[in-house]
């Protein structure tokens, strides 16, 4: 007949390393609302996506999102942007369509657009991820001068239900 105390002791001893590893494994940052009641990442405490993570999140992907601001000539916060692996982008905001290029260097993603009205603009971002939501933090036009500029937009891959709170996309 097996010695159940010995079996139980062996089982408990086998669990101790697993429990220790679980306790020291990095845990995701808690989603704490800011003063506006949103759950934005804190760029002074969190790390933006790396070059490899940005390429995986944006190459041949369509993002559906909402801006943190509204342009006077566009009657919506919502946008859809497709970024192809060959560096092209198509950005739809309301009934306006901008086209252009995108690139990634280190932990920064940059876009160069030809606007719907014929003008041009450049925009660079650090991107932070919570769940399946991507938080866009705008940087200066050169993109490499700092990290975690101001929050400009939130997006998810088209077809996904946002896991971020509050869900705005």
Kindly report, residue by residue over 66-114, the tens digit of the pLDDT: 887 777 788 888 899 999 999 999 999 999 999 999 999 999 999 999 8
The domains of the chain are located at 51-157
On the question of pLDDT at 26 being above 90, the answer is: no
On the question of pLDDT at 156 being above 80, the answer is: yes
Residue that wins the pLDDT comparison between 76 and 157: 157
Lowest mean pLDDT among 13-22, 34-43, 101-110: 13-22
- What pLDDT does 99 receive? 96
Q: Is 0.85 surpassed by the pTM of this model? A: no
Alpha helices, H only, 25-131 = 51-58
- What pLDDT does 129 receive? 93
Q: Map residue 29 onto helix, strand or coil.
A: coil
- What pLDDT does 71 receive? 75
On the question of pLDDT at 1 being above 70, the answer is: no
Report, at the CATH architecture level, how domain 51-157 is classified. Beta Barrel (2.40)
Question: What is the phi/psi pair of residue 106, to 5°?
Answer: 60, -120
Ranked by mean pLDDT, the top range of 28-32, 42-46, 59-63, 138-142 is: 59-63
Q: How far is CA 28 from CA 4, 41, 47, in A?
A: 39, 11, 12
Residues in contact with 76: Cβ distance below 8 Å, sequence separation at least 6, in sequence order: 70, 93, 94
On the question of pLDDT at 35 being above 50, the answer is: yes
């Amino acid at each position: 007949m097996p010695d159940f105390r010995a079996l139980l002791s062996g089982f408990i001893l086998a669990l101790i390393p697993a429990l220790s590893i679980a306790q020291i494994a990095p845990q995701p940052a808690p989603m704490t609302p800011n003063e506006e009641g949103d759950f934005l990442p804190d760029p002074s405490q969190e790390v933006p996506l790396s070059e490899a993570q940005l390429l995986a999140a944006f190459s041949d992907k369509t993002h559906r999102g909402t801006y943190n601001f509204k342009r006077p000539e566009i009657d919506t916060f919502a946008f859809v942007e497709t970024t192809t692996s060959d560096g092209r982008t198509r950005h739809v905001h309301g009934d306006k369509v901008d086209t252009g290029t995108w690139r990634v260097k280190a932990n920064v993603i940059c876009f160069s657009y030809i606007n719907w009205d014929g003008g041009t603009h450049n925009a660079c971002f650090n991107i932070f991820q919570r769940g399946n939501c991507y938080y866009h933090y705008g940087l200066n036009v050169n993109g490499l001068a700092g990290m975690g500029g101001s929050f400009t937009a939130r997006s998810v891959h088209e077809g996904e239900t946002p896991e971020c709170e509050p869900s705005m996309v």
